[in-house]
Structure 1
């Protein structure tokens, strides 16, 4: 375990994240242009999806793949319920804020998944390629679960707005579902996965000089930007975070990882595959879910849920969490 932590803390991707975090906290003028950051994100999504699809083409579809997708969807829907109950018991957050935070912890961080994939590879293990499909499936159920949890607060807010003669600012359910399904990260990840699946190893060999060889360098630059964003969030939003909320940001991913490790055992995944599924369950979204929350729960406070997911849980997972999840997977398998 200590060897895994040491290796992870000294890996280039973690050190680049630490550089960005330190620069932001020190108020450096270092910045990654927004257009460049978006380009890096598009590249990573494309590369992850394509390589996962090619792996599935080589592996084939079987009951294990279907089982992993079902388990991933159930985890994504169920973890927010547990997170919401824990927040209700340990904090004094309004119901809408608690539901919004819970959604982040049920959905996934694709960057954490990528970092976990690299850590698994550096540990000398391999993982099933179809876990990329599981990652895509785990984006949306947590959002629907959070909306179900917050429906009472939304109805009360709508009633108050009606009494005051105000328009209800919430998007309709149909609009929300469309926004979730057509979210850019989901569309690109699923599309690249499908293309990789269709073209297989032949297609992967064609695009390898672009999507395989430069991957780790691009990931380092992207995590530099993530460090800058996380540092700015901590600098401006830390006053909103009370101790019980900070503690939640550290223990909730570990609790989710334990649940995922237990329910994934019957799937018969490899050690590397178990580690990645556990990492997915332990990660917290900071891209797809915040966009959905702005549409569905505009009264929830981004200063809390974004700082929690990106400023607290993401650094924990990137430094200490991933080695812990790999060690847990080795123990389970």
Structure 2
């Protein structure tokens, strides 16, 4: 009974947070027929500021970390982000009616990291007096960027292949529809992949994110970061979520036949991803002496799903994807499950490694 009450409390708290509260608010006013609109130039400016802030913060945290100690855990974190997206997108796209764009956007958010969930894990370890490396916070950009770029690349690769169609004997092309997977069916086209990688890096969302990381790494932007980007961030994110909520309501009907797919994935993926992160953490522990607390936090990062960097990136890079699908399943379902699973990973680390 206590665990049931804890689940309900966690879900209620999640819906009260700005990310979901403004998303639900946008859906509500759209359902009431409101004519509220955010001009497209304003929306694009908001997204630019959000992604620059995320990138700057990531670059600053990586610059302040010890490079040698960071190397192996960072590689493990980046691999986790890529693997979660590849397999998550493939699993979701197998459901009939789930579009490739929706599958990859959802997998991208699950492969990326929730800073709030990571902070909750750190707070729990601190309360238990469990040691973890000080550079842990610098790991999240490696997993975050790897997951988001992989998701966008695979979604665009799939879109290009589908656009090419299947050439019939009469010279016409037919378009495929529905689910059915993504990626490299029919052989890997290196030239096509190269072009999509270049386009992905040049896209506004990834360009802004990478620019922020570069400036954070190579310059000293702390003053403007703390005085301008940090104070504005939560307010700008609320505007973005309001816009995405209105859009989500307009596209909610698309989910009627496949809602169960996102429900199942949202409830099970955090646990599976967390166990995968635990395995990668053990690899880092074996090669570098990565602490048991660090292994726990890497597991929590893998179990979490992005509620900050992911939504604006996906909205800008994959506008055809449905926010109802990828935000609802990640922030609405995945985040509470990830938070509730933190004690599981602590117990597992105690049994396997010991504190």
TM-score, normalised to structure 2, is: 0.70
- Distance change (3 Å), C-alpha of 1:231 and 1:190: same
- What is the CA-CA distance between 1:107 and the residue it aligns to? 2.2
Structure-1 separation of matches of 2:275 and 2:117: 21
Deviations 1:231-274 (A, max 9, x none): 2222xxx1x4443x111122223333222101111426476654
Structure-2 separation of matches of 1:274 and 1:231: 33
The one of 261, 271, 277 aligned to 2:274:
261
Deviations 1:170-200 (A, max 9, x none): x94443232223222112112211211223x
Deviates more, 1:124-133 or 1:14-23: 124-133
Structure-2 separation of matches of 1:177 and 1:132: 19
Partner of 2:353: none
Query: 3-state DSSP class of the match of 2:123?
Result: coil
The one of 170, 180, 195 aligned to 1:163:
170
- What is the CA-CA distance between 1:100 and the residue it aligns to? 4.2
The equivalences for 1:180-191 within 5 A come to 180-191=200-211
- Distance change (3 Å), C-alpha of 1:123 and 1:39: farther
Structure-1 separation of matches of 2:160 and 2:231: 47
Query: 3-state DSSP class of the match of 2:137?
Result: coil
Partner of 1:75: 84
- What is the CA-CA distance between 1:163 and the residue it aligns to? 2.5
More helix as a share of residues: 1
Note if contact 1:260-1:281 (Cα within 8 Å) is conserved in structure 2: no
Deviates more, 1:176-185 or 1:139-148: 139-148
- What is the CA-CA distance between 1:313 and the residue it aligns to? 3.7
Deviates more, 1:14-23 or 1:99-108: 99-108
Note if contact 2:30-2:249 (Cα within 8 Å) is conserved in structure 1: yes
- Distance change (3 Å), C-alpha of 1:274 and 1:203: farther
Structure-2 separation of matches of 1:124 and 1:152: 43
Is residue 211 from structure 1 mapped to residue 235 from structure 2 by the alignment?
no
Note if contact 1:40-1:218 (Cα within 8 Å) is conserved in structure 2: yes
- Distance change (3 Å), C-alpha of 1:205 and 1:143: closer
Note if contact 1:53-1:130 (Cα within 8 Å) is conserved in structure 2: no
Deviations 1:284-309 (A, max 9, x none): 88436636xxxxxxxxxx5xxx33xx
The one of 43, 55, 73 aligned to 2:61:
55
Is residue 275 from structure 1 mapped to residue 300 from structure 2 by the alignment?
yes
- What is the CA-CA distance between 1:148 and the residue it aligns to? 7.6
Note if contact 1:76-1:138 (Cα within 8 Å) is conserved in structure 2: yes
- Distance change (3 Å), C-alpha of 1:191 and 1:329: farther
Structure-2 separation of matches of 1:210 and 1:281: 23
Structure-1 separation of matches of 2:103 and 2:161: 16
Partner of 1:139: 148
- Distance change (3 Å), C-alpha of 1:219 and 1:57: same
TM-score, normalised to structure 1, is: 0.74
